[in-house]
Amino acid sequence: MSGWTDLFTVLPLPENWLRALLFVSFGLHMLFALLTVGTTLLGMLFLVYDRFHGLPAERDMRSHLGLRTLLVVLGVAPLLIIQVRYPHAFFTATGLFAYGWLALIPLIIISFLLLDGLRHTERNHHSRLTLTYGIISAALLLTVPAVFTGVLTLMERQEAWPVFGASGFGVNGALALHWLLRYLHVIGASCLFGAAFLLLFAKGEEQGKVPRLRNWLFGAVLAQIVIGIPLLFTVAKDMNWAMLWVVTLGAAAAMALLWIMRPGAAWPDAAVPRGLLVLLPLIFVAMLASRQMLQDRAVMPVEEQAVLARKERAAALQPYQQQALQSFSEKLATVYDNGETIYVQACAACHGGGGQGDGPAAVRLMVPAEELSAIRADREYIYGILKDGTPGTAMPYFRHYDREKLDLLLDWLSETFGMFDASPAAGDKHGDRAQAATVWAATCATCHGADGGISDFGRTLRPSPPDFRRFSLTPERAMDVITAGYPGTVMQPFRALPENLRRDLAGMANSFRSPDKKKTQ
């Protein structure tokens, strides 16, 4: 197989390179995501707690605002790599979770705008408005990791895809429990790294908040351990020895940090223990490594099956490759300089070579292709259909052809099918014309109008009915439509009417086109 024709079965880089790039890029994004959420949440809590009597909350918010640009920019790389490395699982999960995935855009934008408003109101001492902005922005920002963890959870559980879709995109049972624990674990990590960030950069007048941040660090580490234990049980069946060693290393580092940060430990308020600078990166790397290993074990078998299926399909299509390329080359070499060529290439697939509406693609149409050989209409009316298409049907617009080429097509339609000839004569009287006029006014005029033009109601229909002042059909075709209706439209069958009355109605439909337009054009 050729890499140029099987683009979805190859990778742009070796697997190990992609794995390393994903680990680094996702790690950087995750770090700034945790710092952004953590500093925002802590700043908001300090803001409420202090009731605007000190500076710590303002400083915490400024710390967050310096991180958000890096959060957004560094989030692009891992998303692109995930799309390349796990396309089947990623696009399936984001498709199932599309309502939440798309909600990330307004959530992040509104949250960041409110944080900007918070800084402005804080400087102008609008305490109530500041508090309102802070609470709403923090609440919106906390929903972002909920969506991300939801997508990742769904990615790693292929067996939950049909259940998730069949239940109206709701979660329950083991999936909901794992998602909740994973989300709480991320929020706990945000508080942990956010507090550590604020503690490391606490200076001068901010030293008074060091004891409070120490308590937050201790509580966040304890929460990570408490939440992490049941979280491990939800993924126990997918763990191997390598993952177990990584998790054990991270847990040991967390326990050591918990001991260092314990209440009553001999630690001056102005000092930052060196162990914090070593243990936090160790915990972070262990968390990232275990996450990626778990994701690989859960997702890679799904991706391998999808790639195998694509390769099998590519192999099945291989015998037709040369034929398809030859056909494509012929189309590229075709010169659209005459009406017949344009018809064959653009129209015959639906309308058929003889204009009978029986082309090879016609069987798949909900609204049947019209029998062009049965149309008698104004040239400009048909030109308008070619230029703008017919909404509600498969008839597209052909604006990619200029007027000269469409005129060539119109000339060919006229010469081949007599499309612009005079409307067929009404013929002999078949029944009571007064009765036909009554039926037209009571029934047909609802859509077609009393004068054969399109009524106001008819203009709301897709497709709308034809304008009989400029369009007509041969008597036989008009009789067929009146008798059998027109599938895919509101034109219903009227086979219950007497045959003579139906023939008179067909004659009436052809009588609206003005005499000066019934001559051959």
Q: How far apart are the first and last CA of the chain?
A: 55
The predicted structure's pLDDT at residue 212: 79
pTM: 0.62
Residue 386 has pLDDT above 80, yes or no: yes
Residues 6+ positions from 497 with CB-CB distance below 8 Å: 439, 482, 505
Q: How far is CA 341 from CA 161, 360, 406, 460, in A?
A: 48, 17, 12, 35
| DSSP string for residues in 23-67 | HHHHHHHHHHHHHHHHHHHHHHHHHHHHTTSSSHHHHHHHHHHTT
Q: Is 378 exposed, middle or buried (0-12, 13-18, 19+ CB in 10 A)?
A: buried
Burial code (b: 16+ CB inside 10 Å, e: under 16) for 406-443 equals bebbbebbbeebebbbbbbebeeebbeeeebeebbeee
Q: What's the mean pLDDT in 251-273?
A: 76
Burial code (b: 16+ CB inside 10 Å, e: under 16) for 102-128 equals eeeeebbeebbebbebbeebbeeeeee
Place of tokens 């993952």: 243
The predicted structure's pLDDT at residue 146: 92
Question: Nearest CA to 479 among 452, 512, 449, 502?
Answer: 502
CA distance 475 to 503: 8
Residue type at position 476: E
Burial code (b: 16+ CB inside 10 Å, e: under 16) for 208-229 equals ebbebbbebbbbbbbbbeebbe
Residue 472 has pLDDT above 60, yes or no: yes
Quick: pLDDT tens for 441-467.
999 999 999 999 999 999 999 999 999
Question: Among 5-14, 113-122, 346-355, whose mean pLDDT is lowest?
Answer: 5-14
Confidence of residue 13 (pLDDT cuts 50, 70, 90): confident
Rounded to the nearest angstrom, the gap between the alpha carbon of residue 134 and the centroid of all alpha carbons in its chain is 31
CA distance 30 to 290: 14
Question: Among 64-68, 234-238, 267-271, 341-345, whose mean pLDDT is lowest?
Answer: 267-271
Residues comprising the chain, all counted: 521
Residues 6+ positions from 109 with CB-CB distance below 8 Å: none
Residue 401 has pLDDT above 60, yes or no: yes
Residue 88 has pLDDT above 80, yes or no: yes
SS3 331: helix
The predicted structure's pLDDT at residue 57: 46
**Portions of the chain given CATH number 1.10.760:** 339-417, 433-517
Question: Nearest CA to 19 among 81, 67, 70, 61?
Answer: 81
Question: Nearest CA to 130 among 194, 58, 38?
Answer: 58
Question: Nearest CA to 94 among 134, 41, 8, 153?
Answer: 153
H helix or E strand, kind and range, residue 375: strand 375-377
Question: Nearest CA to 45 among 216, 224, 220, 217?
Answer: 216
The predicted structure's pLDDT at residue 7: 59
Confidence of residue 250 (pLDDT cuts 50, 70, 90): very high
CATH number of this structure's domain 433-517: 1.10.760
The predicted structure's pLDDT at residue 446: 95
Quick: pLDDT tens for 178-190.
999 999 999 999 9
Question: Among 152-156, 169-173, 203-207, whose mean pLDDT is lowest?
Answer: 203-207
Question: Nearest CA to 38 among 56, 64, 62?
Answer: 64
More confident residue, 406 or 521: 406
Place of tokens 């908001």: 44
H helix or E strand, kind and range, residue 231: helix 210-234
β partners of residue 471? 377
Quick: pLDDT tens for 339-380.
999 999 999 999 999 999 999 999 999 999 999 999 999 999
Q: Is 322 exposed, middle or buried (0-12, 13-18, 19+ CB in 10 A)?
A: exposed
For the ranges 66-80, 117-131, 200-214, 477-491, the maximum mean pLDDT occurs at 477-491
* Structural tokens at position 26: 């996702």
CA distance 494 to 160: 51
H helix or E strand, kind and range, residue 473: strand 471-473
Quick: pLDDT tens for 22-59.
999 999 999 988 888 888 888 777 777 665 454 444 44
**Cα torsion for 263, 264, 270, 276, to the nearest 10°?**
-50
339-417 fold: Cytochrome Bc1 Complex; Chain D, domain 2 (1.10.760)
Residue type at position 6: D
* Residue 463 preceded by cis peptide, ω within 30: yes
Q: What's the mean pLDDT in 8-18?
A: 80
Residue 1 has pLDDT above 50, yes or no: no
H helix or E strand, kind and range, residue 304: helix 274-317
Residue 169 backbone zone (phi > 0: left; psi -120 to 50: alpha; other: beta): left
Rounded to the nearest angstrom, the gap between the alpha carbon of residue 213 and the centroid of all alpha carbons in its chain is 42
The predicted structure's pLDDT at residue 124: 60
* Structural tokens at position 183: 């989300």
